[in-house]
Amino acid sequence: MIDNLSTTINLCSLNFGTELDIENDVMLKLFGTDGVRGTANIEPMTAETAMRLGMAAGYHFTRGAHRHNVVIGKDTRLSGYMLESAMTAGFTAVGMDVLLLGPLPTPAVAMLTRSMRSDLGVMISASHNSFEDNGIKLFGPDGFKLSDITESKIEMHIKNGLNNHRVTALALGRARRLNDALGRYIEHTKNTFPRGLRLNDLKIVVDCANGAAYKVAPTILWELGAEVIPIGITPDGFNINNNCGSLFTDMMREQVVLHSAHLGLSLDGDADRLVICDEQGSIIDGDQMMALIGKNWHNSGILKGNGLVATVMSNFGLDHFLNEFGLILQRTNVGDRYVIEKMRKDGYNLGGEQSGHIIMSDYSTTGDGLVVALQLLAAFVEDGRPASNVFRLFTPLPQVLKNIRVPSTIICNEVLNAPSVLSAILAGKQKLDKSGRLLIRKSGTESLIRVMAEGENEVLINQVIDDVIDSIRKMIEK
């Protein structure tokens, strides 16, 4: 039997956090669980809203007499040009100088925000979403994503009007390119790899998702001595995450087997997420990655907090594995920002998500797929065994996740509080009893309800999920 696996239902508003009435200047909701996100050139991902956001954020972070500046990075989406220009206009309108980084991973923006002593950092990306979408993530001067309170204050600036925040013609900001941004991030990332180790004699497939890391990822691995087989390195503005990257791993897996590579690395569009596969092309998820890093750091005496932080989605097998070493697993709501908040509050230096967002606060203020990859590669080089042996530390419990798309006009509570849906959830709970758990939540980045069940009996958990999904579908179709 499985202990302490309780049924979990997270009921939350299905306002997808992205609606703005520009004509009436009425803020409904701008920030979601990971910044602002939506379809390009449709509110809130329009030039008008991006400019207003730039003005509001720039005004909020303008404190003191020094010359203020913001760094702006982006991934490879076509709409990045529009949003980058619009935000530049907003920042300069309130007197803030802008440093343009060009296509660069999200963690590079966080790093450069601190390195350049900037007052604010911006990443224009919709992460793993397709090219039609885009998003805006904001970082404070400490390199961390903004708190809910700060985001609310920025929204209030927009709601209250921005006319009084414009500076005089003499005080307008300037914009320029930071031409060596790629090189700075490459050196920063390489310096996280143990000195004295190299990747010589390793053949590595790396899938850059036609995204933000298409230049830096192959370069870092090559400079450390690996034979690199890069894929997803020909962005055209439309092909980011298109049958490539961390959500579409078939190409990476095929290339690993075809080239007899030692392993494969797959990044998402903004390179803050990593998924890997072993020499046989079998996927290794974030739970196994955290288990390996956590064990190694514990043995080396550098793991802080006597454990690590993960979300409610992480497999219960990870708990069992950590317990064998006297370590604990602290769980948070889904979202790397909640993991980071818990880590900062309670003094942990390792945390992450099953999806591959891994945060190592000794090296970065946010998830960094390439820094994580180098930690894993260091362990792989030192161990000497095949990847299929090194990266599989525990047997996960059967866990199934299924999604159902929900029209944005439907409110989550109306769906999940419907008698028929509640009845299906209760029935599922009773079927699982104490041998499993059920998690139902709204996606923070897409119009989806996610239904996950975990337990000893895979047939049973599939049945429970299908029953809940069916009840939600019938409610939506009414």
b/e sequence 393-404, b meaning 16+ C-beta within 10 Å = bbebbbbeeeeb
Greatest CA separation for the chain: 71
Question: Half-sphere exposure of 66 toward its Cβ, with a 13 Å CA cutoff?
Answer: 8
Q: Which of 79, 118, 127, 266 is catalytic?
A: 127
DSSP-H helix ranges across 146-285: 148-160, 181-190, 216-223, 250-258
Cα separation of 139 and 224, whole Å? 30
Question: Half-sphere exposure of 339 toward its Cβ, with a 13 Å CA cutoff?
Answer: 29
- End-to-end alpha carbon distance in the chain: 39
> Annotated catalytic, 300?
no
Give the list of residues 6+ apart from residue 81 with CB closer than 8 angstroms, or none. Answer: none
b/e sequence 153-191, b meaning 16+ C-beta within 10 Å = ebbebbeeebeebebeeeeebebeebeebbebbbebbbe
Cα separation of 446 and 247, whole Å? 14
b/e sequence 124-149, b meaning 16+ C-beta within 10 Å = bbbbbbebbbbbbbbbbbebbbbeee
Taking alpha carbons only, the member of 71, 67, 42 closest to residue 54 is 71
Give the list of residues 6+ apart from residue 153 with CB closer than 8 angstroms, or none. Answer: 60
Catalytic residues: 127
